Amino acid sequence: MSLATIIPYPSWLNPADNTWQLVAATLVGLMSLPGIAVLYGGLVRKKWIVNTMMMVFTGFSLTLVVWMLWGYNLAFGHLSHFGPTGSFWSGFIGHFQPLSTAGAEQGQAVSGANSLIPFHFSTATLAYFQFVFAAITPLLFLGGLVGRIKFKAWLLIVPLWITLIYCVNAALLWGGGFFAQKGAVDYSGGYVIHLSAGVAAFVGAAMVGPRRWQDRENAFPSNLMMVAIGAGILWLGWNGFNGGDPFYAGADAASAVLNTNVATAVGVLTWVLMDMFFSRQKKPTFLGAINGMLCGLVAITPSAGWVNGTGAIIVGLVAASIVWVAWNYLSRVRPFSKVDDAMGVVYTHGIAGLVGGLMVGIVADPGMVQYGVSGAHFKGAGAISVGGWFYTHSFHQLWEQFLAALWIIGYTAVGTVVVFSIVKFVLGGLRESEETLALGDIAIHEEEAFPEPTFGEPVLTPSHLHPDNL
């Protein structure tokens, strides 16, 4: 091979697309590490910080291993046909095979997600990008489980849940599966990630049981500055979350980023104003602002590049208002009042994701084109865009969104019960013991977030812990 033919860019690879996709993926990865780790670590009691962060880091790692061994191809590989073409059974899951050969990683990315338009980067880029989305999902529903779930149980729940639930939902909506074929859309995961995580958090919290009552009564967040850092990383990380999902560093990526930010800003302001005027205490609270931020981010996710700026503002406003009411009132009625969803994931992710997913069917603007390429065939009808009721005066899209939401809620709920039941059977329980729960981090990990060493300098040498004395 002559030197002239050795070029880093195969003809199908576009350096800008590849770069943006890897940057976007890294931004999304930062949302988990350290974003979720310090956000949740800041929201739990001091005695649970280490345990919470440990579950974030181990969950992220477990998902990547699963993703390489079978997850990616289950969710985004070629669909397995268990039934006639076009039926549910031919479009709910990919193939069970690892992603580990040089050819598989360095070849051009192909996915049922948009098989009609070629990707301009390699499979490794797409696999990593899709991995960080998969990885954050269990970390989100972890928010419902912190403060009592057994650490060993978490290590089993993550791989099982990713395999049995995430991969199926992703294949159905993103991998070109049944709901994608029907016309339901999810720009970046309002359903596959957030609605699903919200449902899993709620069902999981019900199965694991509530935190100790002492931990609930005394649920002082450990550090609001850490919450600010985590929340800020989530917000700006979302530029990769939604900005990466056109899969091209094009105009729609920019629209998605701008829409995401404006919906989020409106979400923050909506929640703060509702707190100031409608809450019992009439106080604007920082953690309320963070809730509003999450509502905006989550709700714009299913529609980020398919709505115009006005649509994004409406999404942020509607989602934050609905979730605020749910947070303050729905939480008082059964079954919500009976389940200890520690971080309120079912509200800020579940309900916000549901609202956002349905809003696609209302405010999506057919003028917002996902790929600025005319003639690219998508169902034989030009470039990809989505038309909501405002523009098409048809409830068709809303109906498709509604059906997909029913599936996500139902399947995730049942699947989560199955996964947690298996783990409960294997380990003989999902909770740490009562004595462990009373102590928290120090009992589970022999570490604490703010260790206090003995005062002064050691005098008696060498100590009994010194390696010479063991």
Partner 1 sequence: MKLVTAVIKPFKLDEVKVALTELGVSGMTVTQARGFGRQGGHIEIYRGREYEVDFIDKIRVEVACTDEQLDAVLDAIVNSARTGSVGDGKVWVVDVVRVVRVRTNERGPEAL
Q: Which stretch binds partner 1 (CB under 8 A): 166-174, 278-286, 371-379, 413-421?
A: 278-286
CB of 294 to partner 1, least distance (A): 11
Q: 3-state DSSP call for residue 149?
A: strand
Largest Cα–Cα separation, the chain: 82
Q: Which stretch binds partner 1 (CB under 8 A): 273-281, 304-312, 380-388, 449-457?
A: 273-281
Residue 80: DSSP 8-state: P
Query: Please, which residue, 147 or 344, has the CB nearer to partner 1?
Result: 344
Burial profile 254-293: b = 16 or more Cβ within 10 angstroms, e = fewer: ebbbbbbbbbbbbbbbbbbbbbeeeeeeeeeeeebbbbbb
Determine which residue in the list 328, 390, 395, 418 makes contact with partner 1, applying CB under 8 A. 328
Q: Which x/- pattern, by CB under 8 A, does the window 295-314 give for partner 1? A: --------------------
Question: Binding of partner 1 at residue 287 (CB under 8 A)?
Answer: yes
Total number of residues shown for the chain: 470
Angle between helices 286-300 and 224-243 (to 10 degrees): 10
Q: Which stretch binds partner 1 (CB under 8 A): 217-225, 298-306, 311-319, 422-430?
A: 217-225
Total residues at interface with partner 1 (CB under 8 A): 15
CB of 287 to partner 1, least distance (A): 5
130, 21 in Cβ contact below 8 A?
Answer: no
Count of Cβ atoms closer than 10 Å to residue 207 Cβ: 19
Q: Which stretch binds partner 1 (CB under 8 A): 72-80, 283-291, 299-307, 404-412?
A: 283-291
Q: Which x/- pattern, by CB under 8 A, does the window 342-381 give for partner 1? A: --x-------------------------------------
Rounded Cα–Cα distance for residues 213 and 133 (Å):
34
Determine which residue in the list 108, 279, 308, 392 makes contact with partner 1, applying CB under 8 A. 279
Determine which residue in the list 221, 232, 309, 429 makes contact with partner 1, applying CB under 8 A. 221
Q: Which stretch binds partner 1 (CB under 8 A): 160-168, 194-202, 242-250, 282-290?
A: 282-290
Determine which residue in the list 283, 377, 396, 445 makes contact with partner 1, applying CB under 8 A. 283
What are the phi and psi torsion angles at 108 (to 5°)? Answer: -65, 135
Contacts 24+ apart (CB under 8 A), 267-272: 267/292, 267/293, 267/294, 267/295, 267/296, 267/297, 267/299, 267/316, 267/317, 267/319, 267/320, 268/292, 268/293, 268/296, 268/320, 270/295, 270/316, 270/317, 270/320, 270/321, 270/324, 271/295, 271/320, 271/324
**Residue ranges in 279-308 assigned as alpha helix (H):** 286-300
Query: Please, which residue, 283 or 445, has the CB nearer to partner 1?
Result: 283
Q: Which stretch binds partner 1 (CB under 8 A): 159-167, 281-289, 385-393, 407-415?
A: 281-289
Query: Please, which residue, 143 or 240, has the CB nearer to partner 1?
Result: 143
CB of 283 to partner 1, least distance (A): 6
The tokens for 470 are 């063991």
Query: Please, which residue, 296 or 344, has the CB nearer to partner 1?
Result: 344
Q: Which x/- pattern, by CB under 8 A, does the window 176-215 give for partner 1? A: ----------------------------------------
Question: Binding of partner 1 at residue 327 (CB under 8 A)?
Answer: yes
Query: Please, which residue, 201 or 262, has the CB nearer to partner 1?
Result: 201
**Contacts of residue 242, Cβ cutoff 8 Å, sequence gap at least 6:** 187, 188, 256, 257, 259, 260, 300, 301, 304, 305
CB of 164 to partner 1, least distance (A): 31
- E strand or H helix at 153, and its extent? helix 151-161
The tokens for 171 are 């294949």
Question: Binding of partner 1 at residue 291 (CB under 8 A)?
Answer: yes
Place of tokens 């899969």: 247
Could you give the angle at the alpha carbon of 359 between the alpha carbons of 355 and 360, nearest 5°? 125
The residues binding partner 1 (CB under 8 A) are 218-221, 275, 279, 281, 283, 285, 287-288, 291, 327-328, 344
